Amino acid sequence: MAWDENRKKKLERLNSISKYLNGKIVNTEDIVDVLNLAIHKGDKLILEGCNQKQASFLAEAMTKVDNNKVNDIHLIIPSISRDEHLDLFEKKIAQLIDFAFAGVQSERLSKLVESGVVRVGAIHTYFELYARLFVDLIPNVCLVAADMADKDGNLYTGANTEETPTLVEATAFKDGLVICQVNKIVDKVPRIDIPGDWVDVIVQADSPFPMEPLFTRDPKKIQDVHILEAMMVIKGIYAKHHVTSLNHGIGYNGCAIELILPTYGEQLNLKGKICTNWVLNPHPTLIPAIENGWVKSLCAFGGETGMAQYAKARPDIFFTGRDGSLRSNRPLCQLAGLYGMDLFLGATLQMDYFGNSSTVTSGRISGFGGAPNMGHDSSGRRHYSEAWHSIRDLKRPLRGGRKLVVQILKTNSKFGPAFKEELEAIKIGEKVGMQVAPIMIYGEDVTHVVTEQGIAYLYMVNTNEERRELLAGVARGIPLEKYCSNKRLDELRNEGKIALPNDLGIDVAMANRDLLSAKSLEEIRDISGGLYEIPEKFLK
C-alpha cells in the first residue's frame, strides 16, 4: 500500500505549472493559466477572505478560470467579503461553502442560498472553522495574501497577519498547494511571518490588497441611547463584577463605552480597576482610554486601517515585532477570548424570549464570526479572577464561576421589535436544509442583556420562565412585555435581578455627547499626537 498519494498528487500539480514558475514566482499575467492547471474539479479550496485582509487579486483571477475544468469546488472562506466570492457560485465554479462571517455580502448570500445557487455546509465560528481544517475540511489548495515575499517564498504579513498562518499550515502540512499574492517581492522581508518552505507559489498582484476599516466607528454617529447603554454597562456590569479582561464586538455601543471610560469612568474612580486587558481589534475609539492610562495590554485579532503607526509607537500596549509593526493573530485571539478573558460584550440583530440570539434573519445571512467562541461559558477554564468568580453556581460548587456574556440591543429597530417569540433563523435553517439551527449565542450562556431601558441579570434566574420575565422587564412597549407585569418588574428590581438607570444612580440627562472623550475621528487623531491616520472613506 502506498502512503504518500497526496504528496504525489501535489508534485503532479506543481509539475503541471512548472513552465510558469521562476523558482516560486509566477508572472502576474499568468495567474489564471496557473489556477486552471493547479486547481482540480471537486477540490476543497481556501480563499482568504479575512475580516479585513482580502486575497482580492486571486479572488478575481478565480472568477476567470475555465469552469469546464475547474468546477464543483468546495469553498472554505472565513469571511465572505467581496463580490467575487459569490460570483464563483453564479459562474458554476464553486457549489458548496463553509464560512464564518458574511458581513456586507449577507443579503446577496441569503438570496443565492434561497435560490439554490449556493449550498451551505455550515455557518461556523472562526475557531471552529480553523479547527475543521485539521480534521474533516483539509484543503487541497490555499489562496492567501501577504504584504511582501522574498524569492524563497518567505512571507511578511505585517500588521495584518490575522489567520493567514493557520490557513497555510493546514494546507502545507497535508500536501496541499499554497499560492500567495503579495503586494511586493523584495530581496529580504522585514520579518518572516510565514516561512518559505510552507509556500509553493508567489505572485505579485496588479494592485495592493484592499483593507477595510471594519472596526472603525465615527464618534459623530454615536447617539445618546448608545451613551446611556454604555453608562449602564460600566456601572452596572464592569464595576459591579470588577471586569478587567474583555472583548467588545463591532458596534457603536462598544465604542461608546470606550469613549466614556476617560470621562464617566474617571468620575466613578474606576481607572486601574476595570477594562485593563483587552482582546480586541485596535479600535481607534480606544485611543483616548489608552492615552489616559486605562489600558495595560491589547492583543489584536487583525489590524485596523489607520492604526499601524499608532500601534508601532505604543509597544507597551500592543503586541509588536522587532520591525515595530503590529502582530495580529485571529486564531490565538479567539483562544484568548475563549479562555483568557472574563467578559464578552456584543450586539445582535435578533433575540428570542429566552435570550437565544442570531444574526441570521429574514433576507440576511450575516454569519457569526467569533461571537459564539467568546460568547459562551468556557467550561474548560480553571484559573481564577475576581470577575469570573463573581458569578457562582450553587448547583455546581466545584466550578467556581463563569464567563460574563453581555448582549446589548435596542428594544426596537428599523426592522421592528428586536425580541421575537421565535428566531427567524430557525425557519431559515430548516428551509435551506441546515442540520444545526443557525443560532449565534445560546440563551443559557448569556449572563446580562442590556437595552436602552435597563439591565437584565440573567445569571440570577432559576427557570426559563424567569429568564423570559427578566427580558420582558427591560423590553417594555413591545409584545414581550406581557410576560412581566409592572408589579413583577418592581419585585425583580427589588431582588436586584433587573436594574433600570435610576436603580444604578444614573442620571439619564447626563447621557449625551458631552460625555464622549472624543466627538470625531479628527479629535481622536489629535489625541494620538497625529499617529492615527483617518481612513480615506471617513474623509469623504
**pLDDT 10s digits, 151-179:** 999 999 998 999 999 999 999 999 999 99
Task: Evaluate if residue 480 carries a pLDDT over 90.
Answer: yes
More confident residue, 210 or 284: 284
Which pLDDT band, with edges at 50, 70 and 90, does 252 fall under? Answer: very high
Q: 86-100, 431-445, 476-490: lowest mean pLDDT where?
A: 431-445
More confident residue, 177 or 401: 177
Which pLDDT band, with edges at 50, 70 and 90, does 307 fall under? Answer: very high
Which pLDDT band, with edges at 50, 70 and 90, does 133 fall under? Answer: very high
CA distances in angstroms from 392 to 246, 376, 387, listed in the order given: 19, 16, 11
Please tell me the distance from the alpha carbon of residue 481 to that of residue 460, in angstroms, as a whole number.
19
Whole-number pLDDT of residue 429 = 86
Burial class (CB in 10 A: 0-12, 13-18, 19+), 204: middle
The per-residue b/e assignment along 141-152, b for 16 or more CB within 10 angstroms, e otherwise, is bbbbbbbbbbee
Whole-number pLDDT of residue 196 = 98
Sign of CA dihedral 312, 317, 318, 320: positive
DSSP secondary structure string for all residues of 33-47: HHHHHHS-TT-EEEE
**Contacting residues for 79 by C-beta, under 8 A, at least 6 apart:** 49, 50, 51, 99, 100, 101, 102, 103, 367, 369
Dihedral Cα 109, 36, 76, 14, nearest 10 deg: -170
Please tell me the distance from the alpha carbon of residue 4 to that of residue 27, in angstroms, as a whole number.
30
Chain mean pLDDT for the chain: 95
C-alpha cell of residue 36 = 486552471
Q: 165-169, 348-352, 472-476: lowest mean pLDDT where?
A: 348-352
Please tell me the distance from the alpha carbon of residue 183 to that of residue 446, in angstroms, as a whole number.
43
The reply to whether the predicted model has a pTM over 0.85 is: yes
Task: Evaluate if residue 530 carries a pLDDT over 80.
Answer: yes
Please tell me the distance from the alpha carbon of residue 190 to that of residue 192, in angstroms, as a whole number.
7
Task: Evaluate if residue 395 carries a pLDDT over 90.
Answer: no
Whole-number pLDDT of residue 505 = 97
Strands of 309-418 (E only): list them: 343-347, 350-352, 357-358, 360-361, 364-365, 404-408, 412-413, 416-417
The per-residue b/e assignment along 464-498, b for 16 or more CB within 10 angstroms, e otherwise, is eebbbbbbbbbbeeeebbebbeeebbeebbeeebb
∠ CA 163-210-312, rounded to 5°: 65
Please tell me the distance from the alpha carbon of residue 110 to that of residue 114, in angstroms, as a whole number.
6
Q: 49-58, 126-135, 255-264: lowest mean pLDDT where?
A: 49-58
Residue 531 phi/psi, 5° resolution? Answer: -75, -35
Which pLDDT band, with edges at 50, 70 and 90, does 50 fall under? Answer: confident
Query: How far is Cα of residue 410 from the mean position of the Cα atoms in its chain?
Result: 21
The per-residue b/e assignment along 59-82, b for 16 or more CB within 10 angstroms, e otherwise, is bbbbbebebeebbebbbbbbbbbb
Across 369-382, average pLDDT: 88
Whole-number pLDDT of residue 227 = 98
Please tell me the distance from the alpha carbon of residue 92 to that of residue 263, in angstroms, as a whole number.
55
Dihedral Cα 286, 292, 297, 301, nearest 10 deg: 10
Residue 215 phi/psi, 5° resolution? Answer: -100, 10
Across 72-97, average pLDDT: 97
Count of positions (residues) in the chain: 540
Task: Evaluate if residue 540 carries a pLDDT over 80.
Answer: no
Determine contact, residues 416/410, Cβ cutoff 8 Å. no
Task: Evaluate if residue 332 carries a pLDDT over 90.
Answer: yes
C-alpha cell of residue 89 = 457560485
C-alpha cell of residue 282 = 485596535
Residue 362 phi/psi, 5° resolution? Answer: -55, 120
Determine contact, residues 135/48, Cβ cutoff 8 Å. no
Q: Kindly calculate the radius of gyration of the chain based on its CA atoms and give it in whole angstroms.
A: 24
